[in-house]
Amino acid sequence: MKNEEIVLVIGSSGEIGKATVQALAEQSNRRFILHYSKNSHVIDELVEILHDDQVLMSVQADLTQPDEIYSLIDLTPFDVDTIVFAQGQALSQTFIKLDEQTMDALYNVHVKATTLITQAFLASMVKKQEGNIVVISSIWGEEGASFEVWYSMMKSAQINFVKSLAKEMGPSGIKVNGVTPGFINTKMNQALTDEEIGYWIEDVPLSRLGEASEVANCVKFLCSSQSSYVNGHILKVNGGIS
């Protein structure tokens, strides 16, 4: 790759997104475009943590809204070498009560945003004959989850997007891979009671929750030269559940 690597991280303000930026920033030639929906203070923290010249820009966009997806693309004036999709919006609800507006919002965040943003930056990757795309999906995209039917469906779509696009773009030197975290110690899961957390941990052979940094380290590997022959792979980070 060229000396400077421009990395677009979608969902930089989430715990896994932030950890991913920090892990990738250990390679000093990387320059970042940091997307966030809310929690702008996390972006401020990243700007403080990273080297002065490592953050090219930050851009706010609510990816549940299609017009803001297009706005993000239009506001990004750089050719991108690496894209990491760390955005997500969980939902726990019975399927029978799920309304169409919520369906559309989750579809936009997980599927429409991922596909449109990828499509927007692929041409420059093809021209250079190199690039990296990593999609952070979920174990539920592989296994399915009751009360998270639509979320599981959207995450499954991401997984099949990775596998299909990897085959299409491989001849152009572009790697496309995915990561499927299991039960990770983030705010998304902090609404659960200790009893509920204990119930989930019983199914984890390593007998503990995962950490955001452990997911980030897997993304770091997939974005490195050490994974130069890894393409179309879904890397499970779940403590051995499946």
CA atoms of 35 and 2, how far apart (whole Å): 23
Q: Which residues are catalytic?
A: 151
242 belongs to a structural domain: no
pTM: predicted TM-score of the whole model, two decimal places: 0.95
120 belongs to a structural domain: yes
Look up residue 204 and give its two tokens. 């984890």
> What's the domain count of the chain?
1
- Between 15-24 and 40-49, two packed helices, what is the crossing angle to 10 degrees? 20
pLDDT of residue 2: 53
With a cut of 70, which residues of the chain have pLDDT below it?
Answer: 1-2, 242
CATH code of the domain containing 87: 3.40.50.720
Domain of residue 223: give its range.
5-237
CA atoms of 168 and 176, how far apart (whole Å): 10
Q: Which residue has the tokens 């990897």?
A: 166
76 belongs to a structural domain: yes
171 belongs to a structural domain: yes
Q: What is the pLDDT of residues 195-241, one digit of tens each?
A: 888 988 999 999 999 999 999 999 999 999 999 999 999 999 999 99
174 belongs to a structural domain: yes
Whether the Cβ atoms of residue 238 and residue 181 lie closer than 8 Å to each other: yes
pLDDT of residue 215: 99
220 belongs to a structural domain: yes
